[in-house]
Amino acid sequence: MEPIHSAEHSIYFESGLSPLKDIINQNQYSKIFVFADTNTSALCIPIFRSFLDEMEDFDIIETDPGEENKNIDFCIGIWKTLLDFGADRKCLMINLGGGVITDMGGFVASTYKRGVDFINIPTTLLSQVDASVGGKTGIDIDNVKNMVGTFSLPKAVFIEHTFLTTLSNREMLSGFAEMIKHGLIADAQYYETLKNSDYKNIQPQEIYRSVQIKNKVVTEDPLEKGLRKILNFGHTIGHAIETYALTHDKKPLTHGEAIAIGMICETFLSVKYCNLTTDELNDISKYIFSIYPKYKIKEKSFTKLLSLMQSDKKNEGGQIMFSLLEKIGNCNFNCRVTSADILSSLNYYNSL
Amino acid sequence: MEPIHSAEHSIYFESGLSPLKDIINQNQYSKIFVFADTNTSALCIPIFRSFLDEMEDFDIIETDPGEENKNIDFCIGIWKTLLDFGADRKCLMINLGGGVITDMGGFVASTYKRGVDFINIPTTLLSQVDASVGGKTGIDIDNVKNMVGTFSLPKAVFIEHTFLTTLSNREMLSGFAEMIKHGLIADAQYYETLKNSDYKNIQPQEIYRSVQIKNKVVTEDPLEKGLRKILNFGHTIGHAIETYALTHDKKPLTHGEAIAIGMICETFLSVKYCNLTTDELNDISKYIFSIYPKYKIKEKSFTKLLSLMQSDKKNEGGQIMFSLLEKIGNCNFNCRVTSADILSSLNYYNSL
């Protein structure tokens, strides 16, 4: 497949990592670090190595897996490790893993000695279709997602289908929610294609289409001043539910499971605020429920969920701002929604 | 005085802060925070207020003074305070203070929710002639100076002479070292002017000239790929001595005192590596000693100093890189110096 050229960097698909060697040679990096969590280290580094017939030495920096470790303490650990390894400004960091690794690795790299080059190799479906493009890095503080971060572009991104063989169905489903979102906000036909596809067996060209959609949006609005906010569809409520579940549920939701819930709630709001038809609402709810498990949003969590939405980065002046569907394939942003209607949407979800 | 227009922002001189109101109105900030340490809060916020006949409300975020507090723990505290105050992406942070405040405040602002606007009002001579320009933000980790940071431009910088009335002679002397450096690396005539001036009574046009010199260099090379490294003259050795003194001396050196030592050592190296004349070496050493106190670089610190220089951000591939004088007013960068010669330069300083 042709690489997608984004602002100042390229996203390579099914390249077998062959451009990586050139990038390393051209830039004459002083040292190469591969950053991974203990899971990806075991599963993905062997695949990574198998792509490379010869490559300069690299050091592996490992962290614990999971969103709960995407925090400042781990960052400090990585910064110090880089210093201990003698990493200078001309080093390269290769982030190999899911969104936690590319978000946190990107943040560490973009701030270590005021910024060193990094390359992202997303190994989960979620990170391939979402974190792979857009130049966002970030870590959580006090469980507030991505409260601290930068807008920093990786030198390159490599998307390889082979890595998906390491994933469970649940992890595939987590990434699939973002793909559904891409169809809903920007491409009705793609949404139909996905409805007829099998999330357990995603095709490379579907991933390609998702990255294309996201890339088009972020290239037009890299710093999220306007249009880019449509990518937030399903996330205002979804993020709040994800954060709540992370600290309150025995088995926390995956990102995609939370976003699936958020998309149903925000589709409900789209009917009132953006004239989406109830037929479209029913279609979307029915489809999402056909593949995602039902979740009970506890009534006692409602107040906390609202306050989590208040602290969402996309808000301005204390108002909770939503991105809502006008119709399938079209999304508006900066929709101000009342708290009462937000609660109605949570009740709507629970009633299904 | 005319403002200096730097890349994408302006540095205002003796404006009485009058453009500040316009900037705030144009950008419709949701909230304004003034970040200061307890010293500047007491001394400089009254001056800051006296400039403003009317201004929207602002919240003050205070930190403890001193380089030893320019660390990640304080950053985390400020990020959390911003969150507690309900700061969104449209808030403005005004950093009012010395380099610790503008470095750390800039880092916090450039990473909070992936970046909010900030304005720097440097209140020390050092921060007016140095930290005011160049878009560097940073914090120390394990006492390694600016090990983590970003290149992020403030929305504007305001330089007001009145703030200097709050400084001791020692603080004036600290900033004066950077001014001497500007003359030595880029403007021989300015160096002569400074030799005939009184550091206790710096004139606004001298500050202006220093900012002009630094601005010209950083505009040509914002990310320190080449030319900008000349600003590092005196700093490879100076930083190491400063860091060592911070953790080992009862009364640590000021930045300028350390840089003054570093400039003498690196002027010594300039004779061997860049054909500076011994007359020029003697002139510089004599002048610096006429205003800066003598310091004893302990021999037992030499190994530690070398290892601190090794971890300097400007180095590549393990080699310690210097910026050295070709003649007064001209500086080269990327000069590789042997460890033996570095030690000779420390002994030279001690022998004076």
Structure tokens belonging to residue A17: 């990592």
Question: What is the tens place of the pLDDT at every residue in B7-23?
Answer: 678 999 999 999 998 99
Question: Using an 8 Å Cβ cutoff, are A157 and A193 in contact?
Answer: no
Instruction: Identify the closest residue of chain B to A85 by CA–CA distance.
Output: B311
User: B53 pLDDT band (50/70/90 cuts)?
Assistant: confident
DSSP assignment, residue B3?
A: P
Number of other residues whose CB lies within 10 A of the CB of residue A199:
20
Assess: ipTM above 0.90. Answer: no
The pLDDT value recorded for residue B56 is 66
A230-279 pLDDT per residue, tens: 999 999 999 999 989 988 999 999 999 999 999 999 999 999 999 999 99
Nearest chain A residue to B152, by CA: A114
H helix or E strand, kind and range, residue B300: none
Q: Inter-chain contact B150–A310, Cβ cutoff 8 Å?
A: no
Distances (CA, A) of B125 to B11, B49, B149: 15, 20, 22
Position A317 scores a pLDDT of: 67
CB atoms A313 and B147 under 8 Å: no
Chain B residues with beta carbon closer than 8 angstroms to that of A315: 88
pLDDT of residue B57: 86
Burial of B286 (0-12, 13-18, 19+ CB in 10 A): exposed
- Tell me the average pLDDT across B62-72: 91
B contacts of A223 (beta carbons < 8 Å): 115
Give DSSP secondary structure letters for B93-152.
EEEEESHHHHHHHHHHHHHBTT--EEEEEE-SHHIIIIITSS-B--EEETTEEEEE--B-
Question: Which of B90, B115, B146 is opposite residue A150, by nearest beta carbon?
Answer: B115
| Spatial contact of A227 and A220, defined as CB atoms under 8 Å apart | yes
- Contact list, A310 vs chain B (CB under 8 Å): 86
Average pLDDT, integer, range B85-90: 92
Among all residues of chain A, which has the CA nearest to that of B83?
Answer: A311
Mean pLDDT of B304-319: 81
Q: What is residue A143's predicted lDDT score, i.e. its pLDDT?
A: 78
Query: Could B88 and A112 be called an inter-chain contact, meaning their C-beta atoms sit closer than 8 Å?
Result: no
- Alpha-carbon span B161 to A114, nearest angstrom: 30
Summarised one tens digit per residue, pLDDT across range A41-74 is 999 999 999 988 776 689 999 999 988 899 999 9
Contact call for B150 and A111, based on CB within 8 A = yes
The set of residues, in sequence order, having a beta carbon less than 8 Å from that of B330 and lying 6+ positions away, is B185, B186
Closest CA to A257 of A238, A273, A272: A238
pLDDT (0 to 100) of residue A167:
95
Contact A97, A69 (CB under 8 A): no
For residue B54, the 8-state DSSP code is S
Within 10 angstroms of residue B62's Cβ, the number of other Cβ atoms is 17
Domains of chain B from N-terminus onward? 4-166 (3.40.50.1970), 169-351 (1.20.1090.10)
pLDDT at A55: 66
**A36-50 b/e with 16+ CB inside 10 Å = b?**
bbebbbebbbebbee
The Cα–Cα gap between A349 and A275 comes to: 19
Q: How far apart are CA B150 and CA B143, in angstroms?
A: 18
- Tokens 């290149």, residue? B151
- Residues of chain A with C-beta less than 8 angstroms from the C-beta of B144: 83
User: In this predicted structure, what is the pLDDT of residue B68?
Assistant: 84
- For residue A105, give the H/E element and its range: helix A99-111
Contact A89 B142 (CB under 8 A): no
Q: Kindly indicate the confidence band of residue B77, based on its pLDDT and cuts at 50, 70 and 90.
A: very high
Query: Among B300, B225, B236, B297, which residue's Cα sits nearest to residue B267?
Result: B236
User: Binning pLDDT at 50, 70 and 90, where does residue B55 land?
Assistant: low
Scanning the structure block, which residue is given the tokens 């003598």? B294
| Whether B111 contacts chain A with CB within 8 A | yes
Contact at CB, A76 and B141, closer than 8 angstroms: yes
* B149 in reach of chain A (CB within 8 A): yes
Report mean pLDDT in 10-residue bins for chain A, 352 residues: 78 93 92 95 92 81 91 96 93 96 98 97 96 92 90 96 95 97 98 97 96 94 90 96 91 95 98 98 97 96 94 73 97 95 98 95
Closest Cα of chain A to B118: distance in Å?
A: 15
Neighbours of A3 (CB within 10 A): 17
| Closest CA of chain A from B280, distance in Å | 33
A143 in Cβ contact with A243 (< 8 Å): yes
- Measured between beta carbons, the chain B residues lying within 8 angstroms of A142 are 80, 83
Indicate the pLDDT class of residue B2, thresholds 50, 70 and 90.
Answer: confident
**Partner residue facing B113 (CB), from A89, A110, A147:** A147
What's chain B's average pLDDT?
A: 93
Q: For residue A35, report the phi and psi dihedrals to the nearest 5 degrees.
A: -105, 125
Residues of B in contact with A316 (CB under 8 A): 30, 88-90
Instruction: Supply angle C-alpha B283, B236, B158, rounded to 5.
Output: 85
**Number of Cβ pairs < 8 A linking chain A and chain B:** 104
Min Cα separation B29/chain A (Å): 9
The per-residue pLDDT for B7 is: 65
Measured in residues, chain B has a length of 352
- What type of residue is B82? L
B185-240 pLDDT tens trace: 999 999 999 999 999 999 999 999 999 999 999 999 988 889 999 999 999 999 99
Q: What predicted TM-score, i.e. pTM, was given to this entire model?
A: 0.90
Q: For B37-51, write each residue's pLDDT tens digit.
A: 999 999 999 999 998
Chain A: closest CA distance from residue B115 (Å): 7
pLDDT above 90: residue B319 = no
- The pLDDT value given to residue B156: 96
DSSP-derived secondary structure letter, A229: G
